[in-house]
Each structure stands twice: as structure tokens, then as C-alpha cells.
Amino acid sequence: MATLPSKPSSPFYLALLFILINTMATITQTEAQLSLNLYAKTCPNALNTIRTSIRSSLAVDTRMAAGLIRLHFHDCFVHGCDASILLDQTPTIRTEKTAGGNNMSITGFEAIDAAKAQVEKICPGVVSCADIVAVAARDASAYVGGPTWDVKLGRRDSTSAYPDVAVTDLPSHNDDVETLIKRFKGKGLNVREMVALSGAHTLGDAQCSSFRDRIYSDGANIDGAYAGVLRRRCPLVGGENVTAPFDPVTPDHFDNNYFRDLMRRRGLLASDQVLYSGGGVTDGIVTEYGKLAGRFRDDFAAAMVKMSEIQPLTGSAGQIRRICGAVN
């Protein structure tokens, strides 16, 4: 029978101690990653300052609410919630802003910059851009009648951008439901959370190029009258700057019309309509949300919280950027 080394100073025990110390350190770091009260002492007015600034931006352009929620989503789905999406192109950084699904479809950068500038005035070098993006999404939702939620704080900002990951990991307007489920699962989000987060499309609009194929060649899975209206707006050739709202009735108000539209085959993108196809795996959730607005609101808030905690940089990782579009 094998016996363990008898001396505590033996290489075996030293190695075991090293593993134990590192394990405990990892557990401690994980537990302390994010906190609701992180800035209570270091910047007690941070959240009020962010909210006031975001509300001021939305008062000028309410449509930016959709952009701020989408900005947070696209940040977290690419290498975690680290504000990498905010970095501008430089000789040493390839920006995410023009990569894949981000190209010409992401807005809200100016609102984040304005909020960051206000926070820097009262607490320089304390509040990260990644935290501001997360808080801004919550405040934008509340501004347009959507749910609010508690945002844990402590994300730090990346020193790199990941455009190649943006191309591979962000959902596409042509994704089928199996691909969407796989993409969200890869980020730790289940099917119900995927459908709830898709409900963010109750706000905002999309470019003609992202729904052209659907309205000209997806006959069986789109309401004919709805397709006709969109064809008059989006030509078969050209019209690259033309947009259409996801929800044509209340495009700037958070509600559950998005799901009701899916049930009438009036989803704007192919990746919207695949959530309700008549017998599909997500049909039941869409029906539930279409009937129960409160259930959708609750699930959306919970899913946003979970998404906001995807792979944050914490502790000494990353940095607190002074300007959101550039590393220090």
C-alpha cells in the first residue's frame, strides 16, 4: 500500500498547500467579483449621476433607449462585459464597432461618453465604462416604460477589442432557432432567457439589408400584408440607409407587442420569426409572453442581470479607462 510523505516540508505537502491557497484565492475572488454597493464609499453619487446623464440623452432622442440596451448586449456577448465594444480604431487596436453585426447597427456611444464625463468630474478614475454601459441599459429600459433591476458593479475595462469574436459570437439576423439556442447557451443563458432577451426588439429598428431577404423570399412564414408594407419601404436593390421598426405600433415603448407580432407572423427579422414557427421549441414561451406582459417584464429583467455578469474583468484585471473609447 502506498504511503503519504511524512514530513510537512516535503515537496508533496508544499505542492498541496500551493494548490489549496490558490483554490481559496480563486473562490474568494469569485465571491467578490461584483457588488451592489461597490461605489458606496468611493463614488456615492455615481448611479444618480449616470441616471441623470442617460435621461438627458434620452430626452433628446428616445430611440437611443434601444441602442443602449443593444450596446450592453453586444458588449457582453463578445469576450464578456468589459466595454471592449467602446474602443475606437487605432494603429494597435482593431475596433469591434464595425465588426459583423455591429456595423452600422450599434448606437448609444455618445450617451455613454457623456455619462462617463459627468462621473469623471466627481470621481476621477473610479467608475468603469463597463459598469456605465450596464447601468445605462437598466436606466434606458426604465425610461421607456420597461422594467428596472439591480446592477452589480465592479466590472473593469478591457485593454483590447475583439472584432473576430464579434463576427463569430454575435447572433445573426438569419440565424435559425437551433443556432440561437446554441449561441446563448455558449454564454450561459438558457432557452427561456434567450427568448426574453430577444424581447428587447420591442424597441428600435433594423436596416433594410437585414430583413430584405425575409420580405422578398420568405413567403410562407410572413404575413402578406406586413411584407407588402415593408417592400414599399425597403427596395429589392439599394435602400441601405432605410430602416423599419421591430414594433411598428409602439417602437419607443417597452411592452410585449413584439411577441404578439411574432404570433401573427410579423417578426421583422428572420431570427425574430424563428422563435414562433407553429410547433417550434420556443413557441410556448412566445405565446406566454404575448399573453402575460408582467411575466415577460420579470423574465427580461432577470435575464439582463444574468447577461450583465458574463465574464467580467475584476480585481486587478483590465483597467478603469479615463475615456471610454481609448485605453489609458
**Range 149-153 average pLDDT:** 98
Phi, psi at residue 56, to the nearest 5°? -65, -40
- Residue 103: pLDDT band (50, 70, 90) is confident
Residue 213 is assigned to a ligand binding site: no
In terms of Cβ atoms closer than 10 Å to its own Cβ (0-12, 13-18, 19+), residue 274 is buried
Residue 131 is assigned to a ligand binding site: no
- Please give the span between the terminal C-alpha atoms of the chain, in angstroms, as a whole number: 59
CB-CB contact of 300 with 201 (8 Å): no
- Asked which of 23-37, 51-65, 70-84, 289-303 is least confident by mean pLDDT, the reply is 23-37
Q: What residue type is 120 in one-letter code?
A: E
**Range 124-137 average pLDDT:** 98
Average pLDDT, the chain: 91
d(CA 143, CA 111): 14
Q: Which residue has the cell 414562433?
A: 276
- Summarised one tens digit per residue, pLDDT across range 254-313 is 999 999 999 999 999 999 999 999 889 999 999 999 999 999 999 999 999 999 999 999
Q: What residue type is 3 in one-letter code?
A: T
> For helices 177-185 and 191-198, what crossing angle results, to 10°?
110
pLDDT at 15 over 70: no
Residue 157 is assigned to a ligand binding site: no
Rounded to two decimals, what is the model's pTM?
0.89
Residue 249 is assigned to a ligand binding site: no
Residue 250 is assigned to a ligand binding site: yes
Q: Would you call 253 a catalytic residue per the annotation?
A: no
Contacts of 38 (CB under 8 A, 6+ apart): 152, 153, 154
Pick the catalytic residue from 72, 74, 79, 173.
74
Provide the grid cell at 157.
475595462
Helices and strands (H, E) in the chain, number of each type: 14, 2
* DSSP sequence for 259-289: HHHHHTT--SSHHHHTT-SSS-TTHHHHHHH
Contacts of 171 (CB under 8 A, 6+ apart): 77, 101, 179, 180, 183, 271
d(CA 219, CA 201): 22
Give 222-229's long-range contacts (Cβ < 8 A, gap of 24+): 222/265, 222/266, 222/267, 222/273, 223/264, 223/265, 223/266, 226/264, 226/265, 226/266
Nearest to 83, CA basis, from 183, 142, 156, 25: 156
Give CA angle at 304 (302, 307), nearest 5°.
110
Q: How many CB atoms lie within 10 A of CB 122?
A: 14
- Residue 10: pLDDT band (50, 70, 90) is low
Residue 82 is assigned to a ligand binding site: yes
Residue 202 is assigned to a ligand binding site: yes
